Amino acid sequence: MSDRLHAVSRGALLWLGSRKNAQLVISRVPLTRRVARRFVAGDRAEDATEAIRRLNAQGVDGVLNLLGEGVTTSADADAAAAEYADAIAVAAGQVRTSITLKPSQLGLLFDAAGCAARLRQVAVQAAAAGLGLEVDMEQSSHVAATIETFLSAGLDPLPRLAIQACLHRSPSDLETLIGAGVRTRLVKGAYLEGPGVAIQQTGAISRRYGELSTLLLERGADPAFATHDSTLIDHVVREARRLGRDKGDFEFQMLYGIRRDLQVELARAGFRVRAYVPFGPAWYPYLVRRLAERPANLRFFARALVGK
């Protein structure tokens, strides 16, 4: 599929993902629920922990994620923080995993100070349980507030923060984060963004990802390269060798249900590999982003819409 057609179908899917009406219709279709199970471990933290246990047996660590985003009330943000506390208690001592969350899940969109307080609370609980913490990066309109809240929340140790290669601002953000000693997770970017804020062509995004990964291998602390793109994974391996980095100096991350073969292959080759394992009933926006990454999935969505 051409770059242009891919961009159009990706845009159509992500737009559908943001429409509440479409969500109500599509998420009830049994086929949608079945497809979601490929990418989502289940409704409960126990389901995710069980999935991570299976990954651990193959040499792959986990990144546990409670699905949810765009929370609009303090009560819902508190509930998300409480669910994270429960998930940490379920996973602690059972599996090799870290925890990752979305700032908008903890109230970033309406109360940055409250979000920072909840983030501190989850960070303390994760550290007490011996689990690492990571923070996802959401749409471009949330990026400035995310970085500001992250850096000013008084978190110790600092969690790892995701950075999206597609955004024009990311090289500058990465410099700031490297300067502050922040560990980062480099991703291409999963959201629908306009040309004013993000690179539009997939080839150019990959080139930018390659450049930023080299920068992170040169100067970043314990970077994570989150991609299933074999060309970029090869680039990271080559650049790490050229720069004299050990396999233990960085890690690869992939998503639950995607390129499992590659996850295990890299782990067997001695690389650190982590799989992002989401759970919870709020799976619809996550599923749409996963489907939008593959143009072939547009057909699936069309079928779901007409109820077939």
Ligand X SMILES: Cc1cc2nc3c(=O)[nH]c(=O)nc-3n(C[C@H](O)[C@H](O)[C@H](O)COP(=O)(O)OP(=O)(O)OC[C@H]3O[C@@H](n4cnc5c(N)ncnc54)[C@H](O)[C@@H]3O)c2cc1C
CB of 230 to ligand X, least distance (A): 7
Q: How far apart are CA 120 and CA 98, in angstroms?
A: 16
- Is residue 231 within 8 Å of residue 238, measured between CB atoms? no
293 interacts with ligand X by CB under 6 A? yes
Stretch of 77-85, 152-160, 181-189, 298-306 contacting ligand X, by CB under 6 A: 181-189
226 interacts with ligand X by CB under 6 A? yes
| Closest residue to bound ligand X by CB | 228
**Beta bridge pairs of residue 66:** 279
Candidate residues 42, 132, 189, 220; the one interacting with ligand X per rule CB under 6 A? 189
Q: How far apart are CA 3 and CA 6, in angstroms?
A: 5
212 interacts with ligand X by CB under 6 A? no
Q: How far apart are CA 91 and CA 14, in angstroms?
A: 32
258 interacts with ligand X by CB under 6 A? yes
Composition of the chain by helix, strand, coil, percent to 5: 55, 15, 30
Q: By C-beta, is 90 or 190 nearer to ligand X?
A: 190
Find the length of the chain: 308
254 interacts with ligand X by CB under 6 A? yes
55 interacts with ligand X by CB under 6 A? no
- Is residue 120 within 8 Å of residue 133, measured between CB atoms? no
Stretch of 9-17, 121-129, 168-176, 183-191 contacting ligand X, by CB under 6 A: 183-191
Q: How far apart are CA 267 and CA 271, in angstroms?
A: 5
49 interacts with ligand X by CB under 6 A? no
Q: How far apart are CA 66 and CA 85, in angstroms?
A: 11
Q: By C-beta, is 75 or 188 nearer to ligand X?
A: 188
CB of 229 to ligand X, least distance (A): 4
Q: For residue 46, what is the enclosing H or E element?
A: helix 45-57
How many residues line the site for ligand X (CB under 6 A)? 22
255 interacts with ligand X by CB under 6 A? yes
Q: Torsion angle of alpha carbons 237, 243, 247, 249, nearest 10°?
A: -120
Residue type (1 letter), 32: T
105 interacts with ligand X by CB under 6 A? no
137 interacts with ligand X by CB under 6 A? yes
DSSP 124: H
DSSP strands (E only) in the chain = 61-66, 97-101, 132-135, 160-164, 184-187, 224-226, 251-255, 272-279
Candidate residues 164, 184, 213, 263; the one interacting with ligand X per rule CB under 6 A? 164
120 interacts with ligand X by CB under 6 A? no
Q: By C-beta, is 155 or 232 nearer to ligand X?
A: 232
Q: Which residues here bind ligand X, judged by CB under 6 A?
A: 136-137, 162, 164, 187-191, 226-229, 253-255, 258-259, 276, 290, 293-294
